[in-house]
Structure 1
Amino acid sequence: MDLNGKVAVITGGGTGIGAAVAEALARKGAAAVVVNYSRSAEEARETVARLESMGCKATAMAADVSDDASVRRLAERVRADHGRVDALVCNAGTTRWVPFPDLEGLTDEVWQQIMGVNLMGAFYCARAFAPDLRAARGAIVNVASVAGLLGTGSSVAYGVSKAAMIQLTRGLAVALGPDVRVNAVAPGIVATRWHIDRVGEQVFHEMTAKEGARAPLRRTAEPEHIAQMVVALLESDMVTGEVLVGDGGRHLMY
């Protein structure tokens, strides 16, 4: 896919990886980028302002991806405003920090919140935008995690949600082919506020330095690195149903 002149929708697009993807698409010449958010309204507006300064038409649109009706309203608004959708990046995600041994901490409410956003949100978005993506012969990229491939992550529920998202990616690649390609990226630790705000900058630096020393590339990913991967998958016309890991090779080490 040549991204020049295309219309893209990014869920959770106001901060972190989502904002980096939005800017990467603008640099590629995207005609319009819809920045979806649920709570980060101010950050979404700031992202939109940066995109517009780059010459890209951008709009911040609120929607709770875990609610099917909200997602369908989002799709209707995008359709009315732009008339087409070429690329969908399902980046919206959530977690709850529950130590793995604390099974009692994995309440029904925790499971439902995490699965609702991380898994059902990606499905609802793919379903709502499928007609537009089919018409455009477009592409979807889901932002999963190495937690969906390994026994790691912020909680058991989070890892399960990302593993399910990876399988959803494969299933959607079959369901939406040959018109729509569907792939996923699986980042490791990324230097975003999600991680940094939880432990503080000093602890995050110490933690990532220790982990990074065991990875072949010896560094921690920035949001821009994951955005590179997302763009690469959007542009790769013969790739579908694949998962691209972005952790500096850390997953290769025992």
Structure 2
Amino acid sequence: MAEATETRGAQSRQRVFLTGASSGIGMALARAYAAQGAVLGLVARRAAELEALRASLPDAAAHRVYALDVTDHATLQDAAHAFMAEFGGADVVIANAGISQGTLTEYQEDLAAFERIMAVNVTAAFATFTPFVARMKALPEHERRRCRLVGIGSVAGIRGLPGAEAYSASKAAVISYCESLRVELRASGIKVVTVAPGYIDTPMTRVNHYRMPFLMPVDVFAGRALRAIAEGDSYRVIPWQMGVVAKLLRLAPNWLYDMAFARAPHKKRNL
């Protein structure tokens, strides 16, 4: 009886399933949602970091951790089904897991890095959402309209950056994939939200050896991302200044873009 009461209590709270939770943007999103009283399913490869994160959150015992590699689709889907079975479903699913590395097409050895980046950043997003869609579509209409599938893109997906072929391609794919999914699910009422971060202060960006305009603290980013998700925005660039830059980049003719970025600094090729 006590267990049933606890489960009903959890179902009255927002239920968030989040990949890439052990550091950076994922960790900041987890902290922000936990501060709002959500119950979390936290996914990442590193078990110790996940457990440390859970222990630091309000009501730590309410959250679940799933230590796995998101490219192991069977294990990822098992975690998703376990979370839904325990908490009765999910309200917000965030495909945040992502890696970045400089890649250059002229080097054959960079092919493995290219494939790994696409597998983590793109294919795993599909695998993250897949277990939840049918369950969300089966909900009553008023409940479906509270559901969110969230893809974390990047301004690097707006136009290809030199030396970052794989990362730019992966984030462009995430943006396009989420747009396709958004249109597909429009009639259901389920919102698909694409959040495209600019430069956010995380371990991923701290290795960059070049100036990063409009660099934003990760906790500030998380707060703004949560608002965009709650509002069901179809697409939001954060910070807004990078959104202006992104629009200009979209409009720039190829000759102008090529001239401006041909000598742009490159991301390091080694992780």
Q: For residues 49-60 of structure 1, what are the structure 2 equivalents within 5 Å? A: 49-51=55-57, 53=58, 57-60=62-65
User: Could you tell me which amino acid in structure 2 is paired with residue 43 of structure 1?
Assistant: E
User: Could you tell me which amino acid in structure 2 is paired with residue 187 of structure 1?
Assistant: P
- CA distance in 1 between counterparts of 2:16 and 2:135 reads 11
Match of 1:185 among 180, 186, 195: 195
Q: Deviations over 1:11-53 (max 9, x none)?
A: 01121111111111122221x1011011x222211211122x3
Alignment correspondent of 1:71 = 76
**What is the Cα deviation at residue 60 of structure 1?**
1.2
More divergent stretch after superposition (149-158 vs 10-19): 149-158
- CA distance in 2 between counterparts of 1:7 and 1:250 reads 30
Q: Is 2:24 the partner of 1:16?
A: yes
**What is the Cα deviation at residue 110 of structure 1?**
2.0
More divergent stretch after superposition (118-127 vs 153-162): 153-162
Q: Is the 8 A contact 1:106 1:157 kept in 2?
A: no
Rg comparison, structure with higher value? 2
Q: For residues 32-51 of structure 1, what are the structure 2 equivalents within 5 Å? A: 32-38=39-45, 40-51=46-57
**Normalising by the residue count of structure 2, what TM-score does the alignment of the two structures yield?**
0.76
Match of 1:160 among 166, 169, 174: 169
**What is the Cα deviation at residue 248 of structure 1?**
5.0
What is the DSSP-based 3-state SS (H/G/I as helix, E as strand, rest coil) of the residue aligned with 1:8? Answer: strand
**Normalising by the residue count of structure 1, what TM-score does the alignment of the two structures yield?**
0.81
What is the DSSP-based 3-state SS (H/G/I as helix, E as strand, rest coil) of the residue aligned with 2:94? Answer: strand
- CA distance in 2 between counterparts of 1:154 and 1:56 reads 43
1:103–1:244 distance in 2 versus 1, CA, 3 Å: farther
Structure 1 residues not aligned, in runs of 5+: 213-218
Q: For residues 223-234 of structure 1, what are the structure 2 equivalents within 5 Å? A: 223-234=218-229
**What is the Cα deviation at residue 247 of structure 1?**
3.8
What RMSD, in angstroms, separates the aligned Cα atoms of the two structures? 2.4
Q: For residues 1-254 of structure 1, what are the structure 2 equivalents within 5 Å? A: 5-30=13-38, 32-38=39-45, 40-51=46-57, 53=58, 57-98=62-103, 103-104=106-107, 107-134=110-137, 135=139, 136-137=143-144, 138-152=147-161, 155-177=164-186, 178-196=188-206, 198=207, 207-208=210-211, 211-212=212-213, 219-237=214-232, 239=233, 242-247=234-239, 249-250=241-242, 252-253=244-245
Structure 2 residues not aligned, in runs of 5+: 1-10, 249-271
User: Could you tell me which amino acid in structure 2 is paired with residue 35 of structure 1?
Assistant: L
1:104–1:45 distance in 2 versus 1, CA, 3 Å: same
- CA distance in 2 between counterparts of 1:182 and 1:153 reads 29
Percent identity between the two aligned chains: 26
